[in-house]
Chain A
């Protein structure tokens, strides 16, 4: 029991150690650090929460959340062309993103149903594939087929979207609508309320019939099927929900950043969100809301202090940059390895148990005879 707790908490503990080591070296003022962490919590939590539902359905880490992020970006690009600004713009962008997310989610879910047992690698390749389609749409079809009026976001050649789309008139409108300043720390209350609502929704959703079905599917697909659950449909729904939430999360993320890097904003987002979730102590088959928030705080503290600490120790700021990228990948690797080994152990344990039961039965049979 104690061992399993240690194994579960090992990744967060390691990160607490890294942070404790780097914070004093980085020499950032506590209020600056606190401010940054609060900002990043508001920016990223929603996105990371979108990962929880597929984990519940036993589909692992949804690398396909990038699909939703792209849908969100398309919504924002269109809205900024129509010059709808502020909160209405964001809401409209979310409304546009939802049907796109649903479509992509259904497609992704159907493909993942064809690739049971290797959902993660498939959803990962899926994110690259849809990125190709996204580039086709944004770089070639927007402006030539899909009308784009404003030259400020269009490439000079007449079609295609510029590398960066400014969201200046939407920037932090959500964060600033109800904001409290406490000791130099800006708390974006409304953003946190939205994140809180999503948390409540997820807790409620777990208790619904559909949520229970998803957990059953996650536990054992065959048993769930025998219990009369439509496994394929349930899995698709979980991916669709995740994609839609990721789309909305991306809009919240980008309104905080204040501009869209049209061709790269989404490419790293999946990796960073998944790394943050795992840092919070989640595993491939179990993740809670607590993991999300612990993960955001620890991962982003490391993210803020590592480059500075690295620069101080080695005199080269790039080392810290590379270090944090390395840590993100290493955390995911370690988590995946731990998940796969424990899965194998469980499998062989179940096999042994079966063998023992059989033996006992045989013995009992002999005794009777």
Chain B
């Protein structure tokens, strides 16, 4: 008798912890997966799609973790890191590298950009503690629109990247065929029936995720968590709060740069100009769906969130189309992901500011 009550209580507490929106989204995905075979959707292809998309987007979502840990909130300034990645990608091709080597070079070239941009961005965020998220959003927007001009002006010459007629100015989409298309995904790819698993990309994600996990357990990593949960206490304990925060921003920016390169190698194209503009929002909502809050995020949140979010993105169009011949996926995606962010923003997170 007594036990049932406690189980019930536990269940209620777990439900509260889990949150209603997250429950709805998980339920929705389960419903889609159950319905898929009945409406004639091809389940193996769908699962293969989800795994693939997870491998493309995982690192972009992972990029949220350091900044959330140090109390800088959700990194709406993700586009800044993406731009470092894009600079690495385009410069690597411009310098004439081909094949998988071009991926390695893109990572190497993107890194200094990410470090510099990240340091400046971190310095700025230290000046405006408490208002990080709004300003991060606009730092992202400004940098994307500034780079729109730069893609036109910078002296790129590689014929595979510039507009054919004018001979200058980068194209909006650049094919990666012959460069690093499937550079990671092609490594040890496993194919079971119609399910194909990009082992290389998944391993790369696992490596970075483990790296972040391990980092968060080092002395500096613990300091980062301390700064995020109570800056005053951290300061009293002798931690240089501003330095730790900058470090977290640099890490987030660098992960975003690597994330976009991994995304491109799976997708097969580099997208320039306005493409990075809204890329922060799917990543933000993915980690929130995974159970993170504005000031708490774990690697598990990243993995669960990316699977759930990408699951919905891939499953809704097919299932919906087969069922009611109406493609409402885009609208559902917007409402679900934005609703999730709104929900997270309204939670009381009275961490000492």
Q: Which residues of A contact B (CB under 8 A)?
A: 111, 114-115, 117-118, 120-122, 124-126, 128-129, 131-133, 135-136, 139-140, 314, 316, 318-319, 322-323, 325-326, 329-330, 332-333, 336-337, 339-341, 343-344
Contact = CB atoms under 8 A, between A and B. Distances in A.
B346 A121 contact: no
A126 B153 CA distance: 36
Given A139-B331, A325-B145, A128 B281 contact: yes
A118 B134 contact: yes
A322 B127 contact: no
A124 B137 contact: yes
Contacts of B130: 117, 340, 343-344
A333 B142 contact: yes
Contacts of A129: 334-335, 338-339, 341-342
Contacts of A139: 331
Contacts of B281: 128
B326 interface: yes
Interface string B125-166: 001111101110111011001101100110000000000000
A330 B345 CA distance: 25
B317 interface: no
B134 to A, nearest CB: 5
Given A129-B338, A136-B331, A336-B131, 20 more contacts: A120-B134, A121-B134, A122-B342, A122-B346, A129-B334, A129-B339, A129-B341, A129-B342, A132-B335, A322-B148, A325-B145, A325-B148, A329-B145, A330-B146, A333-B138, A336-B128, A337-B124, A343-B130, A344-B127, A344-B130
A330 to B, nearest CB: 5
A38 to B, nearest CB: 28
Mostly, the B contact residues are helix
A124 B136 CA distance: 13
Interface in B216-244: none
A329 B128 contact: no
Interface in B171-222: none
B25 to A, nearest CB: 14
Interface centre among A333, A336, A343 (most CB of B within 10 A): A333
Nearest to B144: A329
A139 B137 CA distance: 28
A115 B345 contact: yes
A81 B129 CA distance: 50
A140 B325 CA distance: 12
Contacts of A124: 134, 137
B23 interface: no
Interface in B86-108: none
Contacts of B76: 121
A336 B146 contact: no
Contact of B342 (A111, A319, A340): A111
Nearest to B169: A316
A128 B137 contact: no
B18 to A, nearest CB: 19
Nearest to A326: B145
A226 B132 CA distance: 30
A169 B239 CA distance: 67
A323 B149 contact: yes
Interface residues of B, number: 36
Interface string B31-45: 000000000000000
B275 interface: no
Interface centre among A332, A336, A340 (most CB of B within 10 A): A340
B133 A344 contact: no
Contacts of B131: 336, 339-340, 343
A133 B335 contact: yes
25 contacts: A115-B345, A120-B134, A124-B134, A125-B338, A125-B341, A125-B342, A126-B342, A129-B335, A129-B341, A132-B331, A132-B338, A135-B330, A139-B331, A140-B326, A314-B152, A325-B145, A325-B148, A326-B145, A326-B149, A329-B142, A329-B145, A336-B131, A340-B135, A344-B127, A344-B130
A201 B72 CA distance: 41
Given A129-B335, A140-B331, A337 B128 contact: yes
A319 B153 contact: yes
Interface in B230-281: 281
A129 B343 CA distance: 11
Interface string B282-313: 00000000000000000000000000000000
Contacts of B153: 314, 319
Contact of A319 (B129, B149, B328, B348): B149
A344 B231 CA distance: 15
Given A115-B345, A129-B339, A135 B152 contact: no
A226 B122 CA distance: 38
Contacts of B342: 111, 122, 125-126, 129
Nearest to A117: B130
Interface centre among A140, A314, A330 (most CB of B within 10 A): A330
B117 to A, nearest CB: 14
A301 B279 CA distance: 31
A177 B137 CA distance: 42
B348 to A, nearest CB: 8
Contacts of B134: 118, 120-121, 124, 336
Nearest to B149: A322
8 closest Cβ contacts across the A-B interface? Answer: A132-B334, A340-B128, A114-B346, A129-B338, A326-B145, A132-B335, A340-B131, A333-B138
